[in-house]
Amino acid sequence: MNYISVGKENSTNINLYYEDHGTGRPVVLIHGWPLSGASWEKQLPALLTAGYRVITYDRRGFGNSSRPATGYNYDTLTSDLNKLMTHLDLCDATLVGFSMGGGEVARYLGACGSKRVRSAVFMAAIPPFLLKSADNAEGVDGAVFDGIKQAIVADRPAFITAFLANFYNLDVLAGKRISDDDVRLSWQVAAGASPVGTLDCVTAWLTDFRKDLERINVPTLVVHGDADRILPLATTGGRISAHVKDSRLAVIAGGPHGLNWTHADEVNRELLAFLGKQA
């Protein structure tokens, strides 16, 4: 297994698990919460077949990476990504961030610039700013996130079950675009994540990415489902283009939050077409 050390916690190293497949221009896939890099299973073959080098990694606290008790904020998470990019000496890369992973893409380009990056993709992503405030009327009331944290503390496995029902819109798509076995796989990955990391990441969701987005100077694709119940289009993806000049919004009809699994064909077509334009 491939690991890179990104720091230490007391006597132990903090290691990120990553996979590096294929040849060609690199595409870095950054997963969402509370899953792992394995959630890109339906994109990996399509990208490899199209001739790209594909890198996936597990965010600290999730998947096969270390489970430290600290570092679940976007500055640290972006530093982790930067260390991976530097370790692999990636250049001319496309960063693809799903859900929470969209925050790493925004903060990386805002803080580190585009020296190593050719283009960016926000998929069902969390930017620009999720929290409702005086200058962000489109956001979500802070009490909602307090409720999520309370539910995680009270019964994390039960919360994951309820979360995945809305993640995949199971009342509509179960048995049609996603199987019970798929959902069980996601539950197992999520339940295996760090309880501390699972909880602390909820606070990170309230990060304001508007200034980061305004610094993006590479072609950008936004992919979002119009049936996303976790990060509704009007609150998130539909607003990114207002902050990123060279961007295009692709709306996936009927797509839930987990559209990269349930609507993989549609997502892959949009992703490959965008990457092809950057050739």
Residue 233 to residue 225: CA distance in whole angstroms: 7
H-helix or E-strand spanning residue 252: strand 247-252
46: alpha, beta or left, given left = phi > 0 and alpha = psi -120 to 50? alpha
Task: Please identify which of the residues 228, 243, 247, 263 carries the catalytic annotation.
Answer: 228
Task: Please identify which of the residues 31, 224, 257, 263 carries the catalytic annotation.
Answer: 257
Q: Is 141 a catalytic residue?
A: no
Burial 200-217 (b: 16+ CB within 10 A, else e): bbbebbbbbbbebbeebe
Cβ(98)–Cβ(59) under 8 Å?
A: no
Q: How far is CA 248 from the centre of its chain?
A: 18
Q: Is 99 a catalytic residue?
A: yes
Residue 155 to residue 240: CA distance in whole angstroms: 34
CB atoms near residue 248 (< 10 Å): 14
Task: Please identify which of the residues 36, 39, 66, 99 carries the catalytic annotation.
Answer: 99
**Type of residue found at 54:** V
Question: Which of the residues are catalytic?
Answer: 99, 228, 257
